[in-house]
Homo-oligomer: A and B are copies of this chain.
Amino acid sequence: VSVTVAVDANGADLGPAEVLAGAVRAVEADPDLSVLLFAPAVESGHDRVRVVDAPVSVAKEPDPAAAVRRFKDASIVRAWAAVAAGDADALVSGGSTGAALAAGLFGVKRARGVHRPALAMRIPAPQTPFLLLDAGANTTVRAEHLVQFAHMGAAFARVALGIPAPRVALLSNGTEPGKGTEEVVAAHAALRDMPGFVGNVEGFTVSSGEADVVVTDGFTGNVMVKTMEGSSRAVLEAVRAAATSSARAKAGGLLLKPALGGLRAALDPELAGGAYLLGLRGLGVVPHGSFTRRGFAAAIALAARGVREDVAGSTHAALASAGALRRAPDPSAGAGTLPDR
């Protein structure tokens, strides 16, 4: 299926040219893929990467919700508008999560019955990958948001990861039902009868593989994802240092190198491409701002895969059939209300 991805190139740490290089790499790898790149004047290097001149960036604005309303010509606003108009099938953001979320709520609106969109990230734990949400969209949440994230994650795991009966857990500071913040304790009580709910897990879950979906607020989720990346990097660097600490170790390191290459690739956050922004009437992918062209290419490929697998639509349908959509309009969460940064 032919897919067009709208890419906001502003806000990336290495600049729009790096995002462009990623877009070219992505379309070169996929003959049915096109990119609409919203960026300050750059030359496209490929006929399936169309550059739309969009120099205004709100990626560094401290209040993204206000900024996207004020700067209608901001690249992230225009990129979401392309999705809303049907000119693109999904969005990849080069800038901040806050701006991508605010502009998405503004441009394509939240999906019917969804309290809060969430960042769903497949965590490449070596033996036991799992889906973490919210990986950073909502700094603070209420219990009912966590409950819906649990259903949203389960639905996504079924339709996009092919796990027929996903085990869903709440992240907490202890496994007992009474452990955690007020919100976690209340969400635990509300989820007790959800099919597949396995209770609370702790940070150890990254190596224990006890859950397929781990649910938390966006503050804790963001800290967890970055802690995993930092720890993996630190240990791999220490292994590398150990492998040069003596002639004997050096010889061992050389012999082991090919086998370790696969591990390094499996843990590489750039190859994972980032996280899906679920719960909007359009699919978004949020990569790290620090990615190189490799990571942006992976993010664009992730967005294309999400379109082909109808991740947004199928997740929403699964949410509906699980009865996990908000029933009555929630006055505190109308379509125009923006979540916390």
Contact = CB atoms under 8 A, between A and B. Distances in A.
A207 interface: yes
Given A242-B260, A252-B252, A236 B237 contact: no
Interface in A206-258: 206-208, 216, 218-220, 222-239, 241-243, 245-246, 248-249, 251-258
Contact of A229 (B125, B204, B233, B252): B204
Contacts of A258: 248-249
A202 interface: yes
A295 B144 CA distance: 40
A139 B182 CA distance: 9
Given A173-B219, A218-B173, A263-B239, A230 B204 contact: yes
Contacts of A232: 231, 234-235
Chain A: interface residue count, which band? 35 or more
A262 interface: yes
Contacts of A62: 176, 178
B243 A230 contact: no
A229 B203 contact: yes
Nearest to A262: B242
Q: Which of A205, A206, A238 has the most CB of B within 10 A?
A: A238
Given A234-B126, A252-B252, A252-B254, A203 B223 contact: yes
A140 B180 CA distance: 9
Nearest to A225: B203
Contacts of A241: 126-127
Nearest to A204: B230
Number of copies of chain A assembled together: 2
A135 to B, nearest CB: 10
Contacts of A238: 126-127, 263, 266
A201 to B, nearest CB: 9
Contact of A231 (B174, B231, B243): B231
B206 A227 contact: yes
Contact of A220 (B174, B220, B233): B220
| 3 A-B pairs with the lowest CB-CB distances in the bound complex, closest first | A252-B255, A203-B226, A252-B256
Given A206-B234, A249-B256, 15 more contacts: A62-B178, A136-B173, A139-B180, A202-B222, A203-B229, A216-B223, A223-B223, A227-B227, A242-B256, A242-B259, A242-B263, A246-B259, A249-B258, A251-B252, A252-B256
5 contacts: A202-B223, A203-B223, A204-B229, A220-B223, A252-B253
